[in-house]
Amino acid sequence: MAKKTIEDVEVAGKIVLMRVDFNVPLDGQCKVTDDQRIRMALPSIESVLKRGGRLILMSHLGRPTIGEDNARFSLKPVAVRLGELLAMEVAFATDTVGDDAGAKAGCLADGGVMMLENLRFNPGEKKGDAEFARTLAEMADVYCNNAFGTCHRADASMVAVPRAMGNKPKVVGFLVAKEIKYLTDAIADPRRPFVAILGGAKVSDKIPVISNLLRICDKVLIGGAMAYPFSLATGGKVGDSLVEPDKVGLAKELLEAGGDKLVLPVDTHCGDAKTGDCNKQVVEAGKIPDGWQGLDIGPRTAKLYAEVAGNANTIVWNGPMGVFEIPPFDEGTKAVAQAIADGRGISIIGGGDSAAAIGQLGFAERVSHVSTGGGASLAMLEGRTFEAVELLDDK
Ligand code: 3PG
Ligand code: MG
């Protein structure tokens, strides 16, 4: 997949339309609480600005519902944060393909940057609408996909816009190139033992990934709510835990296919409510009583997982081991994060929550790569390719 990068195109005096993933968390006051995705996009942004390109940035934020009050999904605070990081003015258009965007794009000077309002405020974005895409593409001389976190989506700005560029250059940004290289290399030629640790609550998203990981990894460790369909599949009880019963059949198949490669928790830290001050107890996995829910892996599991992680030469981690935003149910996730940080292997962290855990614990510098993509990095681990990247110009 050698794709042309932003470095390979002449940008001086040209308008570069760059798709970024600035879908970042905002607090109640609409301040950006984690700017990792913005910071990671800076090298490509700066490359364009330094060479005298005129940059138009476009992104989505959250999942707004068309027709509702979507003020909290505005990208304005993100443009402000970007301006602080770049130490320059970032113009902000209050629309995407409307008059304000057109007027501001017309005023862009060489080395100047503007940001469009949330793409998903326009129904054409999620629909992949060709007309919407054509209007965006017409603004630009060069298209750049620097939105790794969104690469698994076929939204208009990801697929229809580069298509509508016709023969004009369409390239990847450094962030997309770097993330794809890291994840591809990890899968293609891993140093063994190669261990994957999967957790989190979005079980349906991740169970399909397990099949592919079982094919390529030496061990696949399961934590978080993802463990509960496996408990049900082996006749265990999960009490009131978060579980999707329709995944039990698939869990059975994976247990058969995985053999001893697939490692499940041996104990579970439960609470009688999802709060920090609830009553708590540690039970054997699959023995969660009614009225109780599993909120973290138990201490024996944490120790076991930390040992396996510590011995890995390549490790991929996606998803927390429990409800890590509510201590003490953060202990399993912390133990895993610590073991990965202390480990000697190549470590790749994907998914917002695992990345946040690594960041909060101060371990970001002690792992090889923290991905800006959750779903996108999982899609890669599933072995999928991205249309949004395939259609860009080859080197
Ligand atoms: C993400 O945060 O996962 C990406 O920005 C994609 O967002 P989406 O899941 O709403 O498409
Ligand atoms: Mg997501």
Candidates 2, 35, 1; CA nearest to 20 is: 35
Is 37 among the catalytic positions?
yes
User: CB within 6 Å of ligand 1 — which residues?
Assistant: 21, 23, 63, 149-150, 153, 374-375
For position 1, what pLDDT does the model report?
56
Pocket test for ligand 1, best of 20, 21, 75, 118 (most atoms within 8 A of CB): 21
- Interacting residues of 270 by C-beta distance below 8 A, sequence separation 6+: 239, 280, 281, 282, 283, 288, 289, 292, 293, 294, 295
Cross-strand bridge partners of residue 3: 394
What would the two tokens of residue 5 be? 């990068």
pTM above 0.85, yes or no: yes
Catalytic residue among 14, 37, 54, 153: 37
* Residues making up the chain, counted from first to last: 395
Which residue type does 293 have? Q
What single string gives the DSSP state of each residue in 198-259? Answer: E-SS-HHHHHHHHHHHHHH-SEEEE-GGGGHHHHHHTT-EETT----GGGHHHHHHHHHHHG
What pLDDT score was predicted for residue 34? 87
Q: Look at residue 282 and give its three-state secondary structure.
A: strand
b/e map 341-369, b = 16+ CB within 10 Å: bebebbbbbbbbbbbbbbeeeebeeebeb
Q: How far does the chain reach from its first CA to its final CA, in angstroms? A: 9
The answer to whether residue 206 is catalytic is: no
d(CA 262, CA 99): 55
* pLDDT of the chain, 395 residues: tens digit per residue: 599 999 999 999 999 999 999 999 898 899 998 898 999 999 999 999 999 999 999 999 999 999 999 999 999 999 999 999 999 999 999 999 999 999 999 999 999 999 999 999 999 999 999 999 999 999 999 999 999 999 999 999 999 999 999 999 999 999 999 999 988 988 888 999 999 999 988 777 787 789 999 999 999 999 999 999 999 999 999 999 988 888 899 999 999 999 999 999 999 999 999 999 999 999 999 999 999 999 999 999 999 999 999 999 999 999 999 999 899 999 999 999 999 999 999 999 988 788 888 988 899 899 999 999 988 998 998 888 999 999 999 99
The two beta strands, 219-222 and 194-198, are: parallel
